[in-house]
């Protein structure tokens, strides 16, 4: 297996088809509802046309929720509202259909795929199809050690790439991306701070389970210490993921980049997917053209990352539970945009002067 260089994605990823987008814009101007009257739905429909290379746009017929799961050693410092090494319980709830994301997905008729990239639990606790591709059991404590070895980081990125290929090959036409982790918002904050050149306190939020002030201060300290370890490897995105990321974050990054290669649109969920998208942008500047920001969580790191990528979230409902829940709420907007772009009738063409009844051709 050849060594992986994330910078190679820059040559592999093309932008959505700009010619198709212009055709979609022109078609929109001919429809009976005035252009602009549908707000951002017009923009979404045109973006989908460009991604699909299709005018009129096709319906989003096979969406899929893809969730990468993992535990983070930094959670042992008490930076999370959940106990360390307990992410498998979140996965179990999702599999049982009792998590918020599972409930919304079931109501929407969207299948959910969960991939264990780095859970810290006995594999026997979860189904084999979930745990079979695990990279390692938990990720290292990033304030004092690397999250992954270089080999593990590459394996995790390749795992995400494989999942993207499997989804694209199976006909998935849009992915709702999520994460399930304990401690995952801490490495996400480190990645955002490192890539945006900001201090720990600017990007450190309260997490999915809202933490108190003392826990937040511990989390800030962990982000600050990990940030010192991140800065020397900023020039190499794979080394950055190994130093201060984690197996689930590295897999998510690989998934995002390969989805862009395969021209498969993705709706981002919270701060973890936003941080991974920011790493992906650093590797391949055209990649974010294939991603949508589903919603705003209130995490400052997410807001910072989305601002850096010039992404405006579709929704702002303050959802923090993860698992793709907030991004799923945005899916009906995207589907509605596709339906309106495809099905609104075009206004009849204005008759030419010569075609009007009772008008003779002077020639």
Domain boundaries, the chain: 63-331
The fold for domain 63-331 equals Rossmann fold (3.40.50)
What is the reported pLDDT for 35?
A: 87
Residue 276 and residue 253 in contact, taking contact as beta carbons nearer than 8 Å = yes
Whether the ω angle into residue 56 lies within 30 degrees of 0, i.e. cis, is yes
Written as six digits, the tokens of 325 are: 């829940």
Question: What's the rounded Cα separation, in Å, for the pair 357 and 361?
Answer: 11
DSSP 59: P
Strand locations in the chain, DSSP E?
63-71, 112-118, 174-182, 266-268, 291-293
Indicate the range of 20-29, 228-237, 253-262, 354-363 predicted with least confidence.
Answer: 354-363
Q: What is the largest CA-CA distance in the chain?
A: 89
Residues 166-209 have pLDDT tens digits of 999 999 999 999 999 999 999 999 999 999 999 999 999 998 78
- Across the range 264-277, mean pLDDT stands at 98
> Is the pLDDT reported for residue 23 higher than 80?
yes
Q: 178: closest CA among 230, 238, 117?
A: 117
Indicate the range of 58-62, 265-269, 272-276, 346-350 predicted with least confidence.
Answer: 346-350
Mean pLDDT over each residue of the chain, to the nearest integer? 95
- Across the range 143-160, mean pLDDT stands at 98
> Is the pLDDT reported for residue 354 higher than 70?
no
Residues 90-131 have pLDDT tens digits of 999 999 999 999 999 999 999 999 999 999 999 999 999 999
At 267, phi and psi to the nearest 5? Answer: -100, 120
What is the reported pLDDT for 362?
A: 47
Burial status of residue 285 (CB atoms within 10 A of its CB: 0-12, 13-18, 19 or more): middle
What is the reported pLDDT for 359?
A: 52
Residues 323-342 have pLDDT tens digits of 999 999 999 999 999 999 99
């Amino acid at each position: 297996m050849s060594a992986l260089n994330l910078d190679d994605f820059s040559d592999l990823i093309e932008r959505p088809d700009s010619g198709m987008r212009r055709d979609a814009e022109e078609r929109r101007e001919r429809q009976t509802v005035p252009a602009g009257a549908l707000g951002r739905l017009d923009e979404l429909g045109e973006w989908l046309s460009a991604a699909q290379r299709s005018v009129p746009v096709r319906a989003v017929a096979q969406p899929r929720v893809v969730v990468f799961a993992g535990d983070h050693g930094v959670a042992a410092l008490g930076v999370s509202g959940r106990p360390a090494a307990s992410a498998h319980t979140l996965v179990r709830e999702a599999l049982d259909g009792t998590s918020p994301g599972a409930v919304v997905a079931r109501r929407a008729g969207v299948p959910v795929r969960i991939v264990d990239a780095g859970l810290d639990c006995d594999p026997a606790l979860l189904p084999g199809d979930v745990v079979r591709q695990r990279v390692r059991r938990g990720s290292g404590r990033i304030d004092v050690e690397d999250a992954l070895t270089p080999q593990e980081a590459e394996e995790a990125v390749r795992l995400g790439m494989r999942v993207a290929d499997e989804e694209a090959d199976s006909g998935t036409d849009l992915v709702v991306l999520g994460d399930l982790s304990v401690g995952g918002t801490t490495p996400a904050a480190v990645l955002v701070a490192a890539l945006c050149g900001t201090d720990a306190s600017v990007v450190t939020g309260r997490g999915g389970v809202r933490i108190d002030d003392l826990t937040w201060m511990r989390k800030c300290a962990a982000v600050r210490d990990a940030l010192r370890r991140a800065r020397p490897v900023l020039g190499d995105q794979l080394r950055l993921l190994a130093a201060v990321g984690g197996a689930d974050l590295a897999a998510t990054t690989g998934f995002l980049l390969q989805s862009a290669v395969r021209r498969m649109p993705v709706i981002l969920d919270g701060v973890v997917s936003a941080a991974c998208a920011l790493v992906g942008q650093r590797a391949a500047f055209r990649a974010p053209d294939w991603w949508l920001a589903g919603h705003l969580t209130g995490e400052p790191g997410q807001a910072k990352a989305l601002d850096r990528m010039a992404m405006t979230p579709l929704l702002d409902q303050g959802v923090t539970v993860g698992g793709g829940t907030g991004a799923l709420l945005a899916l009906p907007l995207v589907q509605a945009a596709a339906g309106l772009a495809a099905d609104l009738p075009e206004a009849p063409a204005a008759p030419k002067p010569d075609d009007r009844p009772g008008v003779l051709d002077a020639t």
